[in-house]
Amino acid sequence: MPNASPASPHSPLHFASLPLPASMQANLQQLGYLQMTPIQAASLPPALAGKDVIAQAQTGSGKTASFALALLTRLNPRWFAVQALVLCPTRELADQVTAHIRRLARSEENIKVVTLCGGVALRGQRASLEHGAHVVVGTPGRVMDHLARGYLSLQGLNTLVLDEADRMLDMGFFDDIATVAKQCPAQRQTLLFSATYPEGIEKLARQFMQAPLRVEVAAQAEQGQIEQRFFEVTRENRLATVGALLRHFRPVSTLAFCNTKQQCKAVVELLQAQGFHALALYGELEQRERDQVLAQFANRSCSVLVATDVASRGLDIEQLEAVINVDTTPDPEVHVHRIGRTGRAAAHGLAITLASLHDMGAVGRIEQYQNQPSVWYPLESLTAQSAAPLLPPMATLQLLGGRKEKIRPGDVLGALTSDEGGPAYTREQIGKIQVTEFCTFVAVQRAVAAQACAKLNAARVKGKSVKVRVL
């Protein structure tokens, strides 16, 4: 959440007020972190002082930097032992947290961050651990696996972080977290981040934290950025309304929530038949399919991601113009979570909820929970704003080859911006480049996708020819 203007270095919100090394301060500036977010201002001083902290914070609040900066300042890069462990509920969150820690650590000496999550062979992870890891980020189950096999030792640990602790409890990870925590040295710092405070959080705190300090900042401080609109639908016209909304508002990226996997599939089928670039995200997708879907949505080559609540956990998309609740959720807290995905980064977000007469009880609970009345709009107000189809600005090229082949984003960028084998592309024509274990996703402007694909197919990346296709 970039701030509008830099804080004065004397402001209590300025990072300079924190005991962080100069190199780290400079890196924060480079990253555009001009002043602390409220949760950072509240949690960083005690966390950097070594205290145990329980922080109430949602995705998008800047919570990752809160714990990342704390754990990084306590690391000794020259000592090859796992000194910090971050437990996360999902693989996606763990990947994001890893990337975030690496960004914040790039000003320091070679700090190794290893991700340990399920769905990937243990062997590679074991090898990464053997090469020496300072920080481990992972899901409780997989971390336990490594501990049980003796691949991972936590004896040198000084910081334990529980990220999205409420989600981990929801997913039944209490015992796993307890098992892991018991293997950490008693003398350590524990930082717990959670959007809500279910009972289990107290229990975790009692058992595994020492005199924790609780910090919270006014929840949903950014709600003003989100405009909520409600539309009354019937069972018959609910799905068709989604396309009408997209044609009317023409958002570049939309996250649409359904209560069931079946509904997700039905919505995507209908949208695709209407010419939209829509993809579904639900629990039972294979990891590869999931990676592919998320990559396309995050790099703006898919207009609509239709997801269930569980599948969308931990998903952090920076630019999201709209959220559509295709189904009203019966849980007001889930509603707030859903709509909180948009309106970030100081941008205006639109959150639309489709409700039938049957859903009015749920809408009432949402109104009560948010302490604001719902604002209704008639379906007739939805008119297509343009005859042109709504197309995503980018397209994704999938390159068969990833981390295993030691491909780095720079290699792909180099091939695309070189003069060899076709016109050189400018940096502006190329979007996100995401390297996963076995493949690489490259976003390019939709208009040049086919030629860029041909160019890469003819080029050498890391000295080898590669297979590339447009997704």
115/263 with CB nearer ligand AMP: 115
318/420 with CB nearer ligand AMP: 318
Contact predicate 399/435, CB 8 Å? no
Q: How far is the CB of 143 from ligand AMP (least distance, A)?
A: 21
231/297 with CB nearer ligand AMP: 297
Question: Does residue 9 bind ligand AMP (CB under 6 A)?
Answer: no
Q: How many CB atoms lie within 10 A of CB 234?
A: 12
Residue nearest to ligand AMP (CB): 64
Segment interacting with ligand AMP, rule: CB under 6 A, options 34-42, 115-123, 234-242, 428-436: 34-42
In angstroms, rounded to a whole number, what is the distance separating the alpha carbons of residues 189 and 192?
10
Query: CA geometry: angle at 467 spanning 462 and 468, to 5°?
Result: 105
- Among 24, 55, 60, 193, contact with ligand AMP (rule: CB under 6 A): 60
Question: Does residue 1 bind ligand AMP (CB under 6 A)?
Answer: yes
- Residues β-bridged to residue 255: 305, 323
117/315 with CB nearer ligand AMP: 315
Q: How far is the CB of 204 from ligand AMP (least distance, A)?
A: 20
161/311 with CB nearer ligand AMP: 161
Question: Does residue 36 bind ligand AMP (CB under 6 A)?
Answer: yes
Question: Does residue 56 bind ligand AMP (CB under 6 A)?
Answer: no
Question: Does residue 65 bind ligand AMP (CB under 6 A)?
Answer: yes
In angstroms, rounded to a whole number, what is the distance separating the alpha carbons of residues 302 and 352?
19
Residue 46: DSSP 8-state:
H
Question: Does residue 313 bind ligand AMP (CB under 6 A)?
Answer: no
95/405 with CB nearer ligand AMP: 95
Dihedral over Cα of 7, 11, 13, 16: its sign: positive
Contact predicate 238/270, CB 8 Å? no
The torsion angle over the Cα atoms of residues 293, 298, 300 and 303, rounded to 10 degrees, is 60
- Among 33, 193, 276, 441, contact with ligand AMP (rule: CB under 6 A): 33
- CA-based radius of gyration for the chain: 23
The torsion angle over the Cα atoms of residues 149, 152, 153 and 158, rounded to 10 degrees, is -150
Segment interacting with ligand AMP, rule: CB under 6 A, options 31-39, 180-188, 269-277, 334-342: 31-39
The stretches of 131-173 forming alpha helices (DSSP H) are 140-148, 165-170
Residues that bind ligand AMP (CB under 6 A): 1-3, 32-33, 36-37, 40, 59-65, 316
